[in-house]
Amino acid sequence: MDIHSSKILILDFGSQYTQLIARRVREAHVYCEIHPYNISLSAVKLFNPRGIILSGGPSSVYDRGAPTIDKEIFRLAVPILGICYGMQLTSKLLGGSVERSRKREYGPATLFIEDTSALFHGLGKKPLKVWMSHGDRVERLPRGFKSIATSANSIYGAMGNEKSRIYGVQFHPEVAHTEQGERILRNFILRICGLKPLWTMRSFIETTVEDIKRKVGGGKVVCGISGGVDSSVTAALVARAVKGRLTCIFVDNGVLRKGEAEKVYSTLKKNFKMRIKKVDSSRRFFKRLKGVIDPERKRKAIGNEFIRVFEEEAKKLKGVCFLAQGTLYPDVIESVSFKGPSATIKSHHNVGGLLKGMRLTLVEPLRELFKDEVRGVGSELGFPEELVNRHPFPGPGLAIRIIGEVTPERCAILREADSIVLEEIKGAGLYKELWQAFAVLLPIKTVGVMGDERTYECAVAVRAVTSVDGMTADWARLPYDVMQRVSSRIINEVKGVNRVVYDISSKPPGTIEWE
């Protein structure tokens, strides 16, 4: 069974929601890929999609240099759905007209379904709450199209040409704020495009293991594991494909959470019987971090040192030809963004820099998956729930949760405080509800009183957020009794801390991590 033969192509015009469209398609168990809008017509034909979705975007179709597509795409006899900008572009290219709205429409709106189109199958004509984000609107429909929905500010809230199977919606069905948005997308994917829900994590495992076997042949593979679900799932898939020809290298960089090195090592050993080489290089890392304050320099120092350690250990292994790493689909999307790579917010811990010197061939079994899908693969592989649903942990570890210089002493303080945060979150049954929860060691000391004596010690910030995918996040409204226990335990149990504060900023404008 080829799970990639029935697929959707998403053309990206720069919408902040493009990845959400892909997630919704995948949730319908159909494979899809995001490509920049300016992909060539020949590449589209080679991709051979069973349906095409045109994303939204920040431009006006009449802007100079506004992103557009080859008109021939509409003649491929493939169902097409244009979302927001995608609808406006469809209208313009096929002979309709688009004009600036007298009143812009951002946020919630009410959609009135006018026609029992295939796109709205099963929805009746009950008004829907939808999410709008546009300043232009379609004023005249292209020939062969009809209005299938309206809103207070859009005379054509949705349009369709049933014969050509080309549709457009002015709203965003991919966002959670749109009622029945998931059903609308499923109508397009399953009913209009006629696709079968074959994209499951079980089928992915079967296909991927066979792909790895073909690529690696009889070669040997090395994989760096960090303890996160991405690298662990990567290692498990490769191990299944190549049996005893995989060696995993686990580098303890000294900035891991409490008991992390031992836990990761024992979990993988016990559940997957892998060959794992554990290397304690904490002294090397602390030496590299000495005197480093700037967060970007910290990230680079840790990343570069990891490469050096990994390279040294990998070269001790004879006959290794392949390097496995846990690249995810969002990383792939970012590298082909039509706007070019986004501005660097932070560097990422990655072993890709090894390739030039080591001449290894990359094996990236997760490059088609989103984070939640990786977790699904982990569950299918039999990973313990604690590892599958582990909160994201940054590659540079505790180093970017220590504001200021990173030392073994400051790491020890944060490690204990962080452990208490997680213990109390789990004890309260809140761990699964949160995207991340952790402690941050601040570069300040504050005055306090302990045992009738004046103290001047460190302050710790606690951060807990809710999120779907980490792209946006809101601060978690933890119960006061949980916050009280966290604060009391940290102050009483962690020597060197006399104050705890709680971070109530969202993302944006802040980031989830502090550095």
pLDDT in tens, 217-255: 999 999 988 778 898 899 999 999 998 899 999 888 999
Q: Is the pLDDT of residue 342 over 70?
A: no
Which helix (H) or strand (E) segment holds residue 42: the answer is helix 41-47
Which helix (H) or strand (E) segment holds residue 414: the answer is helix 408-427
Q: Is the pLDDT of residue 308 over 90?
A: no
* pLDDT tens-place string over residues 83-140: 999 999 999 999 998 887 666 656 788 999 998 799 999 998 889 999 887 678 899 9
What pLDDT, on the 0 to 100 scale, is given for residue 4?
66
Are β-strands 146-151 and 154-161 bridged in parallel, bridged antiparallel, or unpaired?
A: antiparallel
Query: Quick one: average pLDDT of 273-288?
Result: 90
Q: Can you tell me the distance from the alpha carbon of 458 to that of 500, in angstroms, rounded to the nearest whole number? A: 9
Contact indicator for 380, 202 with CB cutoff of 8 Å: yes
What pLDDT, on the 0 to 100 scale, is given for residue 368?
87
Residue type, 71: K
Rounded to a whole number of angstroms, the distance between the first and last alpha carbons of the chain is 45
Place of tokens 């939808």: 130
Q: Is the pLDDT of residue 346 over 50?
A: no
Contact indicator for 196, 347 with CB cutoff of 8 Å: no
> In which band, very low, low, confident or very high, does the pLDDT at 454 lie, cut at 50, 70 and 90?
confident
What pLDDT, on the 0 to 100 scale, is given for residue 451?
65
pLDDT-wise least confident of 73-82, 175-184, 185-194: 175-184
Question: Cα separations (Å) of 462 from 281, 306, 405, 510?
Answer: 28, 28, 19, 15
What pLDDT, on the 0 to 100 scale, is given for residue 354?
52
Q: Is the pLDDT of residue 352 over 70?
A: no
In this structure, is the dihedral angle defined by the CA atoms of residues 467, 223, 208 and 244, taken in order, positive or negative?
Answer: negative
Query: Quick one: average pLDDT of 191-202?
Result: 94
What pLDDT, on the 0 to 100 scale, is given for residue 335?
58
Q: Can you tell me the distance from the alpha carbon of 72 to that of 75, in angstroms, rounded to the nearest whole number? A: 5
* pLDDT tens-place string over residues 456-501: 899 999 999 998 767 678 999 999 999 999 999 999 999 999 999 9
Query: Quick one: average pLDDT of 191-217?
Result: 94
What pLDDT, on the 0 to 100 scale, is given for residue 102?
65
> In which band, very low, low, confident or very high, does the pLDDT at 452 lie, cut at 50, 70 and 90?
low
What pLDDT, on the 0 to 100 scale, is given for residue 420?
98
Q: What is the dihedral of CA 98, 99, 105, 110, to 10 degrees?
A: -50
Return the active site residues. Answer: 84, 172, 174
Q: Is the pLDDT of residue 165 over 70?
A: yes
> In which band, very low, low, confident or very high, does the pLDDT at 333 lie, cut at 50, 70 and 90?
confident
pLDDT-wise least confident of 110-114, 310-314, 352-356: 352-356
Q: Is the pLDDT of residue 2 over 70?
A: no
What whole-number percentage of the chain has pLDDT above 70?
91
Q: Can you tell me the distance from the alpha carbon of 502 to that of 478, in angstroms, rounded to the nearest whole number? A: 10
Q: Can you tell me the distance from the alpha carbon of 86 to that of 57, in angstroms, rounded to the nearest whole number? A: 8
Query: Quick one: average pLDDT of 390-410?
Result: 92
Query: Quick one: average pLDDT of 17-32?
Result: 92
* Mean per-residue pLDDT of the chain: 88
What pLDDT, on the 0 to 100 scale, is given for residue 355?
52
Query: Quick one: average pLDDT of 17-45?
Result: 93
CA-atom Rg of the chain in angstroms: 26
101 vs 257: which has the higher pLDDT: 257
Residue (of 325, 98, 146) closest to 223 by Cα position: 325
What pLDDT, on the 0 to 100 scale, is given for residue 357?
58
Q: Is the pLDDT of residue 403 over 90?
A: yes
* pLDDT tens-place string over residues 126-149: 899 998 876 788 999 999 999 999
Q: Can you tell me the distance from the alpha carbon of 300 to that of 125, in angstroms, rounded to the nearest whole number? A: 56
pLDDT-wise least confident of 176-180, 206-210, 218-222: 176-180
Contact indicator for 224, 249 with CB cutoff of 8 Å: yes
Q: Can you tell me the distance from the alpha carbon of 456 to that of 38, in angstroms, rounded to the nearest whole number? A: 59
